[in-house]
């Protein structure tokens, strides 16, 4: 288990968000264990995963403290909606050694208003829409996924806490 580090002074910031909880039994190498997963219900980001052997799980169910391995997502976009769009992007033919840097440079010019392009789409043949020549350079047009996180709109039709 990794060493814990304190990164705050005083009380931690508390953010309340709706979550989805899933518990499952895992079988395989090393015997059985239980996995607990907590996801943000707004955008399906995994916030916490805990894995523990059956014996530790039984102790926890009985209210006893027990140790377990956990993976915590610390920079998750809590309570935010995920927006996704697909954009056709031209990628000139370049040697494979320079392909990733070229894709990053092209996408960085298109990443505005919080949108982030998925670089791996520029080398995936499943996203290839066709071949073109632009400004005298031959290349391919790829369907690239762009993602951003925005504040969730308040739910309509629900009463507030104060009435």
Model confidence, pTM: 0.59
Q: Which residues of 71-107 are buried (b: 16+ CB within 10 A; e: fewer)?
A: eeeeebbbbbeeeeeeeebbbeeeeeeeeeebbeebb
3-class secondary structure, 56:
helix
Q: Quick one: pLDDT at residue 163? A: 41
Which residues of the chain carry a pLDDT beneath 50? 160-163
Q: Quick one: pLDDT at residue 105? A: 94
């Amino acid at each position: 288990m990794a060493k814990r580090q304190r990164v705050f002074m005083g009380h931690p910031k508390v953010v309340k968000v709706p979550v989805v909880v899933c518990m499952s039994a895992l079988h395989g190498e090393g015997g059985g264990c239980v996995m607990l997963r907590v996801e943000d219900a707004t955008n399906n980001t995994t916030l916490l995963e805990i894995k523990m052997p059956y014996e530790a799980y039984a102790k926890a169910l009985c209210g006893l403290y027990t140790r377990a391995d956990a993976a915590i997502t610390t920079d998750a976009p809590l309570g935010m909606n995920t927006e996704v769009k697909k954009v056709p992007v031209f990628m000139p033919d370049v040697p494979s050694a320079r392909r990733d840097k070229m894709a990053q440079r092209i996408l960085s010019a298109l990443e505005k208003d919080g949108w982030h392009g998925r670089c791996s789409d520029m080398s995936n043949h499943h996203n290839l829409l066709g071949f073109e020549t632009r400004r005298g350079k031959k290349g391919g047009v790829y369907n690239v996924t762009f993602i951003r996180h925005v504040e969730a709109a308040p739910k309509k039709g629900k009463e507030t806490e104060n009435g």
